[in-house]
Structure 1
Amino acid sequence: MARTHPAVRADLEEVFRTAYPRVVAVAARVLGDRHEAEDVAQEVFLTFGRSAVPAGEAIGWLCVAAAHTALNHLRSGRRRARREEDVRPETVSPDVADAVVTNDERRRVRQALRRLPRKQAVALVLRHSGLSYAEVAAALDLSPGSVGTTVRRAESALRKELNHASPE
């Protein structure tokens, strides 16, 4: 029996070439791991390739999808065990100790980020990934004037989460 495949967009290659670095950057901002971010980008572009998203909205859609997918990866917890195994040094030197502290701080930020409301977390990630207020507004269907407020609230909520979270 022949298997039919959904049609792939004619503009996929052009959009991929244009948007791939930004999509990976958004996912890497959330995940802190370029290889994981590339996996997320692959997922996002596979979904986009079968979508009917207008070409003019592709960048915003892809960036939001990357942020959502990366947050889902964080929330799933699959990476935690692997990451903790990578951080356990046999002997501790000053450089390794610094790396462990940095990794622990990043882990705490990512844990706090996943506890934020989804729209705030995505707005924060997109803005800190280099998207302009106008691009964040278009991607999240917000008014450009409310982006700054949303990002400030997200930053405040993130600080609260970090201050209230007990180190593990």
Structure 2
Amino acid sequence: MDLIRHGGAAAVAVAAAAAVRADPAGAATERWAERRGRGEVSGTARGSSSGPVRADLEEVFRRDYERVVGVAARVLGARDEAEDVAQEVFLSFGRSNVPAAEARGWLSVAAAHTALNLLRSGRRRASREETAAAADSPVVSDVAEAVVTLEERRRVRAALARLPRKSAVALVLRHSGLSYADVATALDLSLGSVGTTVRRAESALRKELNRHASSD
């Protein structure tokens, strides 16, 4: 698995792109602030409690933004969609009462759940995935090889969407780089059971892939 003109405007666009690459969390913070300014985040976010936006939101946003995007991208394979998921997750966090010490695990799990919901809904645009795959993959001379690679990614994501929710989330978190201890804390598992949970999820994913391959 895995997981985004003209004349004077061109100079502005190049500078903006460089800023995003240099400080992606900072650029995302600016986009979030713009959304607040437009009144898009004045209400209560889905799955969150009412009340003012928490004071530590920007600090947590800057610290954990790339991790949250990375988790979502593991599921979706498209950076732009993963960033949309991250925005939604942080808006929910901003209205929540999640203790700051538990923020990282909560955000990772929320990103995995939100991305899986999007994957299962079938509302994704195939062109986004194809564009992301083309950007992430090395140049290949064999067109057939590129097509097979893209098809394999689609098959894996489709199989992931069919797994039980807890198995899928555990698999995504572990393959997003979270340690066994982080996964255990995030999913309220014992440390000793994380390895078993992840191995069973990997086995279930392989079986799901084989089952659908044999039926094609």
CA 40–129 in structure 1, closer or farther in 2 if over 3 Å, else same: same
Aligned to 2:209: 162
Matched to 1:76, the amino acid is S
CA 47–154 in structure 1, closer or farther in 2 if over 3 Å, else same: same
RMSD, matched Cα = 2.0
Aligned to 1:35: 80
Aligned to 1:123: 170
Contiguous gaps of at least 5 residues in structure 2: 1-41, 44-50, 132-139
Aligned to 1:16: 61
CA distance in 1 between counterparts of 2:142 and 2:167 reads 35
Deviation at 1:94, TM superposition (A): 4.3
Deviation at 1:95, TM superposition (A): 4.0
Q: Deviations over 1:99-144 (max 9, x none)?
A: 2211100000001001111001000000000000000000000001
Matched to 1:9, the amino acid is R
SS of the aligned residue for 1:52 comes to: coil
Aligned to 1:63: 108
Q: How many residues align?
A: 159
Q: Deviations over 1:61-106 (max 9, x none)?
A: 00000000000010000115546887xxxxxx94433222111000
> TM-score normalized by structure 2?
0.69
Aligned to 2:47: none
> TM-score normalized by structure 1?
0.88
Structure-to-structure mapping, 1:13-162, within 5 angstroms: 13-79=58-124, 81-82=126-127, 94-162=141-209
